[in-house]
Amino acid sequence: MENSELQYLRRCVELATEALAVGDEPFGSVLVSAEGEIVAEDHNHVASGDNTRHPEFELARWAAANMTPEARAAATVYTSGEHCPMCAAAHAWVGLGRIVYVSSSEQLTAWLSELEVPPPPVNTLPISSVAPSVVVEGPVPELAEQVHELHRRFYTET
Ligand SMILES: [Zn+2]
């Protein structure tokens, strides 16, 4: 993995940390243009009571509203955790490009089970099962433990 890519992923972990600091689940994502510029970023906002407020979903809708189809296809979404099925579907529906995630849904499922968190109402599936044409890279072991720690803190400190 290139240094610039790790930088984007570190920003995702930072955003996830910000989410945790305001009492939300620790997920963060950035949308990077073909030119390497972060054009949008977000963290989870489900503490509002709306459980669809995932950052990847917000970025997909932002991209649909603000980027041409060509720019969307050439963009990359970096994210602290692999897209859930809802977000993977939104990503594919708006024609965004590659995805790079720090930790996989499989890892998250194992971590939450360790923490005895009840399973979510939507099955966790790999992105490739939902959006088979999207190029996906991850997990990234050098950052995954930081994301694990954020989830541990969310369920043990809040
Ligand atoms: Zn999601």
Tell how far the Cα of 142 is from the centroid of ligand 1, in angstroms. 23
Tell how far the Cα of 25 is from the centroid of ligand 1, in angstroms. 12
Query: Could you give the domains of the chain?
Result: 5-157 (3.40.140.10)
Tell how far the Cα of 85 is from the centroid of ligand 1, in angstroms. 7
Tell how far the Cα of 35 is from the centroid of ligand 1, in angstroms. 26
What is the pLDDT, as a whole number, of residue 158? 63
First-residue to last-residue Cα distance in the chain: 34
- Rounded to the nearest angstrom, the gap between the alpha carbon of residue 24 and the centroid of all alpha carbons in its chain is 14
Q: What percent of the chain has pLDDT over 90?
A: 94
Q: Where does residue 70 rank: exposed (0-12), middle (13-18), buried (19+ CB within 10 A)?
A: exposed
Who contacts 146 (Cβ-Cβ below 8 Å, separation ≥6)? 13, 102
* Phi, psi angle pair for 63, to nearest 5°: -60, -40
The string of pLDDT tens digits covering residues 121-144 is: 999 999 999 999 999 999 999 999
Q: Show pLDDT as tens, one digit a residue, over the chain (158 residues).
A: 888 899 999 999 999 999 999 999 999 999 999 999 999 999 999 998 999 999 999 999 999 999 999 999 999 999 999 999 999 999 999 999 999 999 999 999 999 999 999 988 999 999 999 999 999 999 999 999 999 999 999 999 86
What is the pLDDT, as a whole number, of residue 139? 97
The model's pTM is: 0.97
